[in-house]
Amino acid sequence: MTVKEEIIALRQQIALAQRAYYVDSNSIMSDVEFDVLFDKLSKLESEHPEFYDANSPTAKIGSDIDNELPEREHSVPVLSLDKCYSAEDMLGWIKRTQDKFPSQIELSIEPKIDGSGVVLYYDNGELQYALTRGNGYIGNDITANVKTIRNIPLKISYTGKVAVRGEIYITTKDFEEYNKNYGDNRYANPRNLASGCSRRLKSSEVAECPLRIFVYECFPENQIFSSHLENMIFMKENGLPVNSYFGFFTSQNINEELRDKINRAFPDSTIGNLQNAVEYLLKFSQIRKTLDYDIDGLVIKVNDIALREKLGMTEHHPRWAIAYKFDAPTAQTILKGVTFQVGRGGRITPVALLQPVELAGSVISRATLHNEDYIQMLGINIGDTVNISKRGDVIPAVEEVVEKGENIEPLSFPEKCPSCASILVKDGAHHFCANSECPKKMLGRLQYFAGRSQMNIESLGDKTLEFLFENNMIIQISDIYTFDFWKLLGTEGYGEKKIRNIFQSVEESKKNPFSVVLASLGLKDIGGKAAEILVNNFHSVDKIIEAAQKKNLQFFTDIDGFGETLAQSVIDSFNDEKLLEQIKILKNVGLKFAEDEKNEQETNLFLSGTRWVVTGSFATFKPREKAAELIKKYGGEVLSSVSGKTTHLLCGEEAGSKLEKARSVGANIVDEQTFIKMIEENTASQEKKPDNVKKAEVQLELF
């Protein structure tokens, strides 16, 4: 099929699906399948502008115009939203948005109501007309039908012109009753009924259907809002039904007045620090089950209107909002085989080999099966038809068996490592190869070390390292720095230029700070976060080794953010002769194994000599080790329990017995606000930067 033919076929499929969905209220494909087709068409069209067509569904933003209903122009363009399916993607969007405006991001998170979009137009305090979304610019006039919806006010107190966007829906209970009594179970779901019903030609029929509305955005003619929150409150004050769930997440401290305002307007509000926004998204799938109406995701919006304007729009959607959809795209295919991968830590992961299938724009031929228990739970065999899904950029996973094939032999999990044949050991849900010399583990460690998120040795990619490892040239990490790459000259693919590049990027990697080097070693449980805590507490590898060799668990568990498992792993790793030998070589070749001195000198150590215990929960510091890290950064010591040595107790909400104990030993009790002030004042006064600049940096750091 040529690109042109593909574009035409996609346009036809999408148009058919839209007609079925909007006009006949009868979906012929899932939302996700629709999204995938739509995205694919948009991509092809942007790559091939020569096939532009003003009637393409992409040019119409998903038109739902019904020819039998009168049409009318919208006074504001009715845009739709960009979407994502995973917490990772959502976090990526938040980070990107925050990067643009570091010190001042507030986000609102609302349920994405699974109904039918509508715009209500009021003027002189009265509902004048109501339009479906249509193609975003022209919609169908459904005023008479909308007037039968009981929770739509026909009069509001605002007397200027205002367009109000909302979603017409029906509760799940009302849907079941109506569908049984009047619909002969014709409607597959509440959304289809809400959409079909609101477009009926006879409004007397609409009145029998208990439709409702939630509004979520309005555009008054003469009113300027500084925030989305103000916009929502304005609608509420005008008697328009806003949803009671309003999540408000900010990188700033939130004052009581604002907190009160939100709680009063939205009975089910949640207010939190920006870093808890993703946690809220995940938690909402539980709340979703308790709702008596359908939602298909959440809508995340930048609260500040001035920032929205700065963020602007793409061709299809605003950059200041995104929909997080609960259901990820899935595809069906056949399981052809299973292979067992050995990770750098020895974990064995069963990987499904699939008949290639397209999923969310890419062709998938492998998907994870997680572990033996998961395989058993699925009851999967070669030849079965399976459903696979992909949330964001993560590896696709096999979700379920949709049809059994002929094979009923259970899939067996190997007893021996597929790489080195050592007997596997089970730890928790996973099997591991315990042989530290297992070739796959060794290669995995090298690839991890040189990888983009670690030392980032660009010219030593996975394939190059595999070649060097298989030819016994690079076996352990230190070989990367000691091997004479000129020996490769003459080997196919290794010309002078490539070798020079390797030397250059290997040399470049020596500039990585100590925390990156430490995390790149791939030691058990010591990832980026643990490495950072170790560096902040010990400042050099020698100090870490010295502490680990005392083999005193408590020495490490006293550090905030360190549990027993991690403490034990640090002790085990830094007592391993092979690792110590590697560190020695790596140190000699010039890798950083201590914090840069310059940094230490620059840091303001105004808390030195103080000993803190942190207790209770905090609005700004989540998890609370964030506060502990700040204390340490400014020279203070953090202890896990209150004793006579404690000089300060940083005390959050719901502090327990530590508060009493701290009082009894005469420690200073510092609450969250005072602590933030202390940091702001001391750091701002020390440096020559203007106060406001410094403050912005502190806020950024707190997030």
Q: Which is nearer to ligand IVH, 31 or 45 (CB)?
A: 31
Q: How many CA atoms lie within 13 A of 621 on its CB side?
A: 25
320 secondary structure, DSSP code: T
Identity of residue 416: K
Applying CB under 6 A, the residues found at the interface with ligand IVH are 79-81, 110, 112-113, 117, 167, 216-217, 299, 318, 321, 323
Residue 370 CB, nearest approach to ligand IVH (Å): 33
Residues 175, 236: Cα–Cα separation, whole Å: 26
- Provide the pairing of β-strand 397-403 with 385-389: antiparallel
- Tokens encoding 267: 């009975």
Across-strand partners of 594?
540
- Name the residue among 511, 450, 452, 516 with its Cα closest to residue 477: 450
Is there a contact between 656 and 615 (Cβ–Cβ < 8 Å)?
yes
Q: Which is nearer to ligand IVH, 231 or 683 (CB)?
A: 231
**Which three-class secondary structure state does DSSP give residue 257?**
helix
Identity of residue 663: R
**Which three-class secondary structure state does DSSP give residue 418?**
coil
Identity of residue 142: I
- Name the residue among 133, 165, 160, 128 with its Cα closest to residue 144: 128
Active site residue 112: yes
Q: Which is nearer to ligand IVH, 45 or 110 (CB)?
A: 110
Residue 149 CB, nearest approach to ligand IVH (Å): 15
Q: Which is nearer to ligand IVH, 13 or 132 (CB)?
A: 132
Exactly one of 83, 112, 441, 592 is catalytic; which is it? 112
Residue 104 CB, nearest approach to ligand IVH (Å): 21
Residues 349, 397: Cα–Cα separation, whole Å: 12
Q: Which is nearer to ligand IVH, 62 or 444 (CB)?
A: 62
Residue 236 CB, nearest approach to ligand IVH (Å): 14
Element (H, E) at 118: strand 116-123
Is there a contact between 151 and 212 (Cβ–Cβ < 8 Å)?
yes
Q: Which residue is nearest to ligand IVH (CB)?
A: 117
Q: Which is nearer to ligand IVH, 80 or 536 (CB)?
A: 80
- Provide the pairing of β-strand 247-250 with 106-113: antiparallel
- Provide the pairing of β-strand 385-389 with 330-342: antiparallel
**Displacement of CA 220 from its chain's centroid (Å):** 33
Q: Which is nearer to ligand IVH, 112 or 431 (CB)?
A: 112
- Name the residue among 499, 502, 504, 544 with its Cα closest to residue 521: 544
Residues 132, 412: Cα–Cα separation, whole Å: 55
Active site residues: 112
